């Protein structure tokens, strides 16, 4: 399954419902059985098959150092952050889903997109880290 942005995110970013560099944006890990539906999934409560394991807390982790910048070489806007890591973790996951966290019920948290890491990534009592792509999390061109 390819990486993709949820359709509700495309609306939210246009109507100001989401501000990528000032809102709390979190990353949640999912297993290979997660089936993304960009039409029907709009809130975190719509997601299934979240990963679990030692060192991982449901809901995932917040992105640090979020940045929305301009790339004048390639005529793009870019959303980026620090890499993510879960230390001393025993986790198996294939997908990363980003969402806006409102700090309460998952039914209030707006979805952004999901990223396919290509295959199951496994950590056993080790650091599980996600390195952000060289083009950032997402770009607008």
Partner 1 sequence: MDLKSIQNFFKRRHDATDKEKAEFSAQLEAAHDNIITMEALERDFDSMDKAKRKALYEKLEKEATKYPMAVARHDELFNKPFLSLRAKMEYFRGVKRDENGKILRSKEWYADRKALLLTKRADSEARIKNIDEELAGIAKELGE
Residues at the contact surface with partner 1, assessed by CB under 8 A: 3, 16, 19, 22, 64-65, 67, 69-74, 78, 80-83, 85, 93, 96, 115-118, 121-123, 126-135, 137
Nearest-approach distance from CB 83 to partner 1, in angstroms:
3
Nearer to partner 1, 44 or 66 (CB): 66
Q: How far is the CB of 108 from partner 1 (least distance, A)?
A: 19
Supply the minimum distance, in Å, between the C-beta of residue 19 and partner 1.
7
Starting at the edge strand found earlier in the chain, the sheet holding 76-80 runs 67-71, 76-80, 138-140
Joined tokens for residue 27: 């990353």
Torsion of CA 51, 134, 73, 69, to 10 degrees: 50
Q: Specify the residue, 35 or 129, whose C-beta has the smaller distance to partner 1.
A: 129
Are residues 60 and 29 in contact, defined by beta-carbon separation less than 8 angstroms? yes
Which residue, 104 or 118, has its beta carbon nearer to partner 1?
118
State whether residue 71 is helix, strand or coil: strand
Beta carbon nearer to partner 1, 8 or 81: 81
- Specify the DSSP element, H or E, that contains 88: strand 84-100
Q: How far is the CB of 16 from partner 1 (least distance, A)?
A: 7
What is the C-alpha end-to-end distance of the chain, expressed in Å? 23
């Amino acid at each position: 399954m390819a990486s993709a942005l949820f359709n509700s995110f495309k609306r939210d970013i246009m109507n100001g419902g989401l501000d990528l560099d000032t809102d709390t944006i979190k990353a949640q890990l999912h297993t290979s059985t997660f089936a993304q539906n960009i039409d029907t999934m709009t809130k975190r409560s719509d997601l299934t098959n979240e990963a679990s394991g030692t060192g991982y807390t449901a809901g995932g982790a917040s992105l640090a150092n979020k940045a929305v910048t301009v790339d004048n070489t390639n005529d793009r806007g870019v959303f980026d952050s620090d890499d993510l890591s879960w230390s001393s973790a025993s986790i198996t996951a294939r997908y990363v889903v980003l969402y806006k966290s409102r700090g309460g019920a998952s039914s209030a948290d707006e979805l952004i997109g999901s990223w396919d890491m290509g295959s199951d990534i496994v950590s056993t009592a080790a650091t599980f880290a996600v390195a952000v792509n060289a083009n950032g999390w997402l770009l607008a061109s």
